[in-house]
Amino acid sequence: MNTISWSKRAIKQLRKIDKVSAIRITKAVAGLVDFSTLNNVKSLTNHQYDYRLKVGNYRVMFNNDDHVQIVLIEEVKKRDERTY
């Protein structure tokens, strides 16, 4: 079992997100207590953070040393032909 802590930056980002998405993110993060059973967690290589959690259009970046540290929440924008 892991404990979950939020960085000040992640809390600030969560407050700026709409209520429905913020609730979904909070529930998904609560599931990180045992994230080995989640299928939307990916281990990152050559990245500043250890893992990412996919929640709709948002990605929650976190580290897992002796507890889960939520570091960053990013919104993924829709890609189209002008993106590339």
In terms of pLDDT, which residue wins out, 2 or 13?
13
- Indicate the pLDDT class of residue 15, thresholds 50, 70 and 90: very high
Residue 74 C-alpha from the chain's centroid: 8
β-bridge mates for residue 6, sequence order:
70
* Contact present, 67 and 5 (Cβ < 8 Å): yes
Residue 80 falls inside a structural domain? no
* Contact present, 4 and 67 (Cβ < 8 Å): yes
Say what the pLDDT of residue 83 is: 59
Residue 81 falls inside a structural domain? no
**4-6, strands of its sheet edge to edge:** 4-6, 68-75, 58-64, 51-55, 41-43
Read off the tokens for 32.
């990180």
Domain range for 8 is: 4-75
Number of structural domains in the chain? 1
Say what the pLDDT of residue 79 is: 67
Residue 82 falls inside a structural domain? no
Report which of 56, 47, 54 is spatially closest to residue 18, judged by C-alpha positions: 56
Residue 19 falls inside a structural domain? yes
The answer to whether the pTM exceeds 0.85 is no
CATH of the domain at 17: 3.30.2310.20
Q: Convert the pLDDT of each residue in 50-64 to its tens digit.
A: 899 999 889 999 988
